[in-house]
């Protein structure tokens, strides 16, 4: 499994998005992450994503920075 920025996994990011239904706007995703207790580096990274609307959780994870 490829690691995401900050050493996170897909599952560790997605658990902070409880209550999000896709398609979803980036602002709603960031709000859900904050509400669900995501660490500041997670919602800061989500805020920086270049896409404003995500059609699926998979699209979100693909856009989240990955470790090289």
Domain ranges of the chain: 5-63
pLDDT for 10 equals 87
Non-local (6+) Cβ contacts of 59 within 8 A are 22, 51
Are the C-beta atoms of residues 4 and 65 closer than 8 Å to each other?
A: yes
In order of 1, 7, 31, 43, the CA distances from 24 in angstroms are 25, 24, 11, 15
Reported pTM: 0.87
Task: Report pLDDT for 41.
Answer: 92
pLDDT class of 2 with cuts at 50, 70, 90: low
Q: Dump pLDDT digits (tens) for 14-66.
A: 999 999 999 999 999 999 999 999 999 998 999 999 999 999 999 999 999 87
pLDDT level of residue 5 (50, 70, 90 thresholds):
confident
Query: What is 20-38 written as a DSSP string?
Result: --SSEEHHHHHHHHHHTT-
What H or E segment, with its residue span, contains residue 43? helix 40-48
């Amino acid at each position: 499994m490829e690691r995401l920025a900050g050493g996170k996994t897909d599952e560790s990011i997605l658990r902070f998005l409880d209550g999000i239904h896709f398609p979803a706007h980036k602002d709603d995703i960031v709000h859900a992450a904050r509400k669900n207790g995501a660490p500041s580096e997670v919602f800061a990274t989500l805020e920086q994503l270049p896409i404003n609307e995500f059609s699926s959780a998979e699209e979100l994870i693909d856009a989240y920075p990955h470790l090289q």
